[in-house]
Structure 1
Amino acid sequence: YHADRMGYLVWGEFADWGCSGYGPGHDHQQPGITYAAQWLEAIERDYSHPSIIGWCPLNETAQQHHDRITTLDDATRAMFLATKAMDTTRPVLDTSGYAHRVLETDVYDSHDYIEEKDFEAGLVKFMERHEGTPGWKAFSNPHAPSGASTGPKTWSTPYRGQPYFVSEFGGFRWKVGDDAKSATENTLNRKQSWGYGADPQTEEEFYQRFEATCRVLLGNPSMFGYCYTQLTDVYPEENGVYTFDRQAKFDGARLRAIQEHIAGIEK
């Protein structure tokens, strides 16, 4: 309702936690019929909201491809096809982030955070991944949840020329009046407060990081958009641009100005 009223553009997504740990590594994620049933109920509930521009039933499913069809393969495809049948007007993303399983998914995406201890070193790698990708090179999430390097052959169906975007990036922790945390602290101790990589030392450094990462993605002519993580702090994840109680942490006009450059895809 508030997104409709205020003009936010959002994706309709689903809470899919709880499907992991049911088998060996290649077949441990097993979303059952309950997931599909409840997802269709969510679509029916939210269908008429004009703020919703697309549907995505699963988030960060993380399972490598195997030499046979797995439960995750079937479940992802079933939820994709059911969504397409219920709504013929909006694009559908099979899963957000990691293990794409549907060749004909309308949209392709990745999640990519700079988690290196040295932000500048991490930015160089981020640029290599996103500055501009030839059409023949598959887009894929560059890291498994463990941080190990991965590729499209092991985690996702190959990119087939769909509209592509980075649907999660950034995640820089900023808590006013709090000491900055190292990348190691953010990785190992997430019970109190954390973000991705090492924290910016100053608010100005946050703006510099925000601009640097946005410019990389804006400059990629193969990318139609991106989504910064995240809008608000969520419990210990204090990496929002607003606090948990929706108070602005940064100068909104400056964040907007950073993103007003003409994107590569617009040229």
Structure 2
Amino acid sequence: MQHTKCYKRDYPRPQFVRDNWINLNGSWDFAFDRDDSGENKGYQNGFEAQKKINVPFAYQCAASGIGNAEMCQNIWYKRTFVMDDIGLNRLLLHFEGSDYLTKVWVNGKYCGSEVGGYHRLTFDITSAAVQGNNTLVVKVFDSYSREQPRGKQRAEDHDYGCWYVDTSGIYKTVWLEVVPQTYLSEVKLTPNLESKGLEIRFTLNQPYKNAVVAACAYWQGKAVGETLIDVCDTCGYGFLSLDEVNLWQVGQGGLYDLKLQLKADDKVVDEAESYFGMREICIRDGKILLNGKPLYQRLVLDQGYWENCDLTPPDEDALKKDLTDCMSMGFNGCRKHEKVEDERFLYYADVYGYIVWAEMPSVYAFTEVSRETLLTEWKKVVAAQYNHPCVLTWVAFNESWGVEQIKSDLRQQRFVNQVYLATKEIDAMRPVICNDGWEHTLSDILTLHDYTQDGKLLHESFNTVEKCTQKIIPDNKKQPFVDGYSYRGQPIMITEFGGTSFIKDTNGNRWGYGTAVQDDEEYLSRIGGMVKGIVDIPFICGFCYTQVSNVYHEVNGLLEFDRTSKESFEKYRKVFDLTLPE
């Protein structure tokens, strides 16, 4: 693989890189606040540590150094950091992920709060920080509320079904960034193959007069295009024409480097480095096209859980290895299931040419609060991942979770459509799936789930368009569409199936789908039969197999929870990539 020019190991925002940053991961003071008395006791000014915690791991997992799975709604973090004189610059504090309500104090001064566990939280702490030693205190509130997006995090004190131990507080990188008084706060990059260039939209944190943004693109170190874009108040839009167009391809990647400079009076005010890929995703005649050619997607369901770490990867290498291992097993992409993954994973997917379906973690209630929290967070997720060429599809809901009555409830149908349309407003290019699995309303791809373990029966269930679009799905007795909606010629994919497990693994509450298999031969034969049953249906555009690895009591992964493989990658590849020669 070849890294982009802007790559920095462990840098948490790899597609928008500045040089001046400090990683705050590591040992922090930690305290449980079970009666929520911390603020009254002055914890925000500093507190005596009950324990040490290894940030960014959540206190529930072993890697944090605590490993206490008991829910505590209010928790506190504290650490010191040293700052040099930053002059007239500003100091930003970023949390890549903190679940769910995060409050921040620096040197006893309140710096703000934000709700949401699945997008980057940013606090301007300039006015509170000083040259030299600083004390940072963070309080996080979390709960079992089903109104907040929680994905696969359980909502009770025990594991159940396919839900696992919850993740509270900081669970992704915390870092500081020094930026100018006026800086580029957002950049939106849209490849345009027809016009042979890149559309660039940007936003500044505050107005700036008589300024421009200079953009220069590079291909393998050679400058291939540049432009100047005028700043209008706080934003701007322009087009960067390319001297040569090299396509981003699945299994190959292909990235341009990009330098962005905010300039005024011929002086550089702010500078950031990025990258982009030239590719086009569209739907035509029931097919999904990438760069004008039909794309068959061999996806794997990827929940992004690690043994002892839960939703947090052990390190950057673990993210890369998950991706390259899946490619070695014959997959060309993944569906990131009920999780917003660490952005470094998307970086490696961009580099390797690995497809990612980005999915919103579910709520499990249908209330005014749940609707507002889900839609607000989802729009932030889409905006944050928009620039990554690897992201080819958005998945807003899964299996009617949070909208259990969608089949006939017009309010729930309207809300799902509202989320679909809000996604399209941000991104008119990529396909959006309104409700993956069944009971679709507006949806660009018809996606179906079926855990029938017999390949011939699976084939028989879906081998005509009529069966896929008008019949009850045999495995789960659900309809492909809700009342009042019908098939409109969309591409069709089987986006959950398989989940096969070994008898030796299924004891107590440990489970897989269907009847477990006895041995390796039966295991590979069954999986191969199911894959062939789908691939042999000519109008099906791809599949998503469940799943990458075992997760706690769910033992239906291709890998163990510790990522050791149940079979050789070569054997898996022969099963999943039927384009290989015999």
Question: For 1:111, which of 426, 440, 449 is the aligned residue?
Answer: 449
Question: For 1:76, which of 395, 410, 416 is the aligned residue?
Answer: 416
Q: Give the aligned residue type for 1:198.
A: T
* Runs (5+) with no aligned partner, structure 2: 1-343
What corresponds to 2:512 in structure 1? 195
Distance change in 2, residues 1:50/1:141 (3 Å):
farther
What corresponds to 2:364 in structure 1? 18
Give the distance between the partners of 2:568 and 2:440, measured in 1 at CA: 36
Deviation at 1:124, TM superposition (A): 4.1
Aligned ranges for residues 160-199 of structure 1 at < 5 Å?
Answer: 160-174=488-502, 179=504, 181=506, 192-199=509-516
What corresponds to 2:156 in structure 1? none
Deviation at 1:237, TM superposition (A): 1.1
Check if 1:138 corresponds to 2:477. Answer: no
Give the distance between the partners of 2:470 and 2:564, measured in 1 at CA: 35
Distance change in 2, residues 1:42/1:137 (3 Å):
closer
Moved more, 242-251 or 86-95: 242-251
Check if 1:127 corresponds to 2:454. Answer: no
Distance change in 2, residues 1:234/1:215 (3 Å):
same
Check if 1:35 corresponds to 2:374. Answer: yes
Deviation at 1:160, TM superposition (A): 1.8
Deviation at 1:19, TM superposition (A): 1.9
Moved more, 72-81 or 29-38: 29-38
Distance change in 2, residues 1:94/1:129 (3 Å):
same
Cα offsets for 1:191-221 (capped at 9, x unmatched): x311000111101111001100000100001
Give the distance between the partners of 2:534 and 2:416, measured in 1 at CA: 28
Q: Is the 8 A contact 1:110 1:140 kept in 2?
A: no
What corresponds to 1:4 in structure 2? 347
Q: Give the aligned residue type for 1:128.
A: E
Moved more, 229-238 or 213-222: 229-238
SS in structure 2 of the partner of residue 138 of structure 1: helix
Question: For 1:49, which of 366, 388, 407 is the aligned residue?
Answer: 388
What corresponds to 1:97 in structure 2? 437
Distance change in 2, residues 1:63/1:252 (3 Å):
farther
Identity of aligned residues (%): 27
Give the distance between the partners of 1:156 and 1:219, measured in 2 at CA: 31
Deviation at 1:2, TM superposition (A): 2.4
Structure 1 length as normaliser, TM-score?
Answer: 0.76
Question: For 1:232, which of 523, 540, 549 is the aligned residue?
Answer: 549
Deviation at 1:82, TM superposition (A): 0.6
Q: Give the aligned residue type for 1:14.
A: M
Give the distance between the partners of 1:110 and 1:249, measured in 2 at CA: 27
Q: Is the 8 A contact 1:108 1:163 kept in 2?
A: yes
Aligned ranges for residues 58-69 of structure 1 at < 5 Å?
Answer: 58-61=397-400, 62-63=404-405, 65-66=407-408, 69=410
Distance change in 2, residues 1:10/1:248 (3 Å):
same
Q: Is the 8 A contact 1:180 1:200 kept in 2?
A: no
Q: Is the 8 A contact 2:501 2:557 kept in 1?
A: yes
Deviation at 1:51, TM superposition (A): 2.0
Give the distance between the partners of 1:209 and 1:46, measured in 2 at CA: 36
SS in structure 2 of the partner of residue 166 of structure 1: strand
What corresponds to 1:211 in structure 2? 528
Distance change in 2, residues 1:261/1:166 (3 Å):
same
Distance change in 2, residues 1:38/1:198 (3 Å):
same
| Greater relative CO, 1 or 2 (CA 8 Å, sep 6+) | 1
Structure 2 length as normaliser, TM-score?
Answer: 0.37
What corresponds to 1:25 in structure 2? none
SS in structure 1 of the partner of residue 494 of structure 2: strand
Q: How many residues are treated as equivalent by the alignment?
A: 231
Q: Is the 8 A contact 1:112 1:141 kept in 2?
A: no
What corresponds to 1:87 in structure 2? 427
Q: Is the 8 A contact 2:499 2:512 kept in 1?
A: yes
Give the distance between the partners of 2:433 and 2:491, measured in 1 at CA: 10
Give the distance between the partners of 1:10 and 1:141, measured in 2 at CA: 29
Give the distance between the partners of 1:166 and 1:108, measured in 2 at CA: 9
Could you say which structure has the larger radius of gyration?
A: 2
Question: For 1:157, which of 472, 475, 485 is the aligned residue?
Answer: 485
Question: For 1:221, which of 538, 549, 554 is the aligned residue?
Answer: 538
Deviation at 1:86, TM superposition (A): 0.4
Q: Give the aligned residue type for 2:414.
A: D
Give the distance between the partners of 1:151 and 1:30, measured in 2 at CA: 28
